[in-house]
Structure 1
Amino acid sequence: MKYIIFILFTVMTNAAAQLMLKQGMMSMGPISFEGVNPLVKLLQIVFSPWVFLGLCTFVISMASHLYVLSKVELSFAYPFLSLAYVAVAIFAYFVFREDLNGWRIAGIACICVGTILIAQSGREMGSRGHEDQTASVNPDKIGTSEIVR
């Protein structure tokens, strides 16, 4: 639980990147490749300000996620990324006026409950370090078959 701040930072930067990408694509209008070199069009998309900022934010999010993965179990950290769906749905409702109907709210509630359950499992880990929680892989033994008796 001590790395929850980094996990939530990863989630929020991931969600922010999605919102920036959406804003960037909305500002470009409908995309058409007719009469245009696809590579040129792709470069126009990538280097449009909002899309570029969103991609840069994704890089920050990924760097944060890599740090988290070096500290906690993958099976603990990865499910928290589902909270990005929650953040995106809520912010998209307010920023882009996207629909937030009963089915989506029910899905968001399920995601939140699941994430809370996973967060509770982190309390059971106590003060054990990441090294004690995960199996180590010896590169010398990859691809060999050893029988342990």
Structure 2
Amino acid sequence: MSRFALIALILASVSTNAAAQLLLRWAARDGLVPAQSWSPSSFLEFIFRPGIIGGLACYALSVVIWVMVLSRAEVSFAYPFLGLGFVLVTFASAFLLGEAISAQRLAGTALIVLGVAVLARG
């Protein structure tokens, strides 16, 4: 597998993991605890929220892709790319969920990108 294809596979895993985070956050915006006490029906209602199902499906797909990555690359090369998930979630949460990005969070995100770039070149 070419280096380009390997990095594309890594980014696919990172992206699906970030999508899982965003979907779960979207599902959790309505709160975890139901208005009434927990019951089997309220638990099922929670579990079958589209964001929960979608988030768990994205997690599962991310794990499958990640195992494919680990079968082709050293973990010391692939693992630092997971830091890009922080970048994706930071910007997507701002654009899709309306969450604020502080200057401090932006600076930290820039440092993560720089670190991943340094590690990817090695």
For normalisation by structure 1, the TM-score amounts to 0.73
Say what the alpha-carbon RMSD is for the aligned residues: 1.6
Unpaired segments of 5 or more residues in structure 2?
A: none
Aligned structure 1 segments of 4 or more residues deviating by more than 6 angstroms: none
Q: Kindly, what percent of the aligned residue pairs are identical?
A: 35
Distance 2:42 2:58 in 1: 22
Q: What is the CA distance between 1:48 and its match in structure 2? A: 1.1
1:19 aligns with 2:22: yes
User: Which amino acid counterpart does residue 112 of structure 1 have in structure 2?
Assistant: V
What residue number does 1:114 align with?
115
Q: 2:37 aligns with which of 35, 38, 41?
A: 35
C-alpha separation in 1, matches of 2:106 and 2:43: 35
Which structure: greater helix fraction? 2
Q: Which has the larger radius of gyration?
A: 1
Could you tell me how far 1:97 is from its partner in structure 2? Answer: 1.2
Task: Specify the code of the residue in structure 1 equivalent to 2:69.
Answer: V
1:1-149 residue pairs with structure 2 within 5 A? 1-2=3-4, 3-26=6-29, 29-32=30-33, 35-37=37-39, 41-121=42-122
Structure 1, unaligned runs of 5 or more = 122-149
With over 3 angstroms needed to count, the CA separation of the structure-2 counterparts of 1:30 and 1:71, relative to structure 1, is same
